Amino acid sequence: MQINGRTKIVGVIGDPVEHSCSPPMHNAVFDELRVNYVYVPFHVKAEDLQAAIEGFKALNVAGINITIPHKQRVIPMLDQVSKEAEMIGAVNTLVFESDRIIGHNTDARGFIEAMYEVLDEKISGPAVVLGAGGAARAVVVGLVNAGFSPVTIANRTTSKAIALAEQIEKKSHATLFGIGLDDEKLPDAIADAKLLVNATSAGMDLSLPLIIDSDWLHQDLVVYDIIYTPPKTKLLMAAQNSGLQTISGLGMLVHQGAIAFELWTGISPPIETMRNALIKALEKPVVD
């Protein structure tokens, strides 16, 4: 990588940010394509967010990814927010135009593009999403925008599932239901579903029991876990043992990054370069 007077800067802000695998993922493509950009991490605390955004603008930074805890609180600081980001209520990518800052959310489309990369043919129809947190919001918006309906959201805290279903139903043409993970309607919803998505953080801990009963899995179901560490969660293992098609969360991480890359550079990046860099970064945690 050759940094010179024309190098454009993109990056990610978060607190913490050290764990981010986005710098190696994007820089691998800048290197390969010899595009004169560099992607850097910025550790920004919540109370410094406004100053950081103004600073990026003053420094002519080209684009920024936003991660926890800034994805929602950055919205009032922007000139425009994309329809998807508005629906999700969170922004993960900023594009700095000459006089405007535009907020996007690439998670919903990244989730769908990663799914269609794996499946031979497009599916639609009923879907079940486990979880109702930040990640689930993007998944649900991706699903309704891709034509899935009805979407049943099942969450440990039932009230959050109901609230999310109501919010997204108002903003879409889809039918949504919010229920508890312990609701007796959940096995029926899964029985009818073409797609089951885990969007809870529960699968990250392999010592926790499976979040649903593996007997509810059926041959018509695709099982998608948006977790990428570990690459194979208990849910994906159970689904594979039953012979079902499964999708892990790594592809979503790659594709949300690829969409951001294209928003900044206008170039559609090589997905395999991003994926390989990401896998390498996940294998080798950062040391100072």
Handedness of CA 181, 185, 190, 194 (dihedral sign): negative
Residue 252: CA atoms inside 13 Å, Cβ hemisphere, count? 25
- The span from the CA of 144 to the CA of 268, in Å, is 25
Is 200 among the residues that bind ligand ATR (CB under 6 A)?
yes
- The span from the CA of 187 to the CA of 26, in Å, is 41
Burial class (CB in 10 A: 0-12, 13-18, 19+), 69: middle
- The span from the CA of 34 to the CA of 51, in Å, is 32
**Nearest residue (CB) to ligand ATR, 35 versus 135:** 135
Q: Which stretch binds ligand ATR (CB under 6 A): 14-22, 121-129, 155-163, 274-282?
A: 155-163
280 part of the active site: no
Instruction: Tokens for 121, please give them.
Output: 């043919």
Residues 167-186, mask of contacts with ligand ATR (x by CB under 6 A): --------------------
Edge-to-edge strand order for the sheet containing 222-225? 176-180, 151-155, 127-130, 195-198, 222-225, 245-247
Among 27, 82, 126, 134, binds ligand ATR (CB under 6 A): 134
| β-bridge mates for residue 140, sequence order | none
Is 211 among the residues that bind ligand ATR (CB under 6 A)?
yes
**Nearest residue (CB) to ligand ATR, 107 versus 113:** 107
Instruction: Tokens for 94, please give them.
Output: 């900023």
**Nearest residue (CB) to ligand ATR, 157 versus 241:** 157
Is 133 among the residues that bind ligand ATR (CB under 6 A)?
yes
**Nearest residue (CB) to ligand ATR, 106 versus 200:** 200
Q: Give min distance, CB of 156 to ligand ATR, in A.
A: 3
Is 131 among the residues that bind ligand ATR (CB under 6 A)?
yes
Q: In the complex, which residues of this chain contact ligand ATR (CB under 6 A)?
A: 131-136, 155-157, 160, 200-202, 208, 211
**Which residues are tagged catalytic?**
71
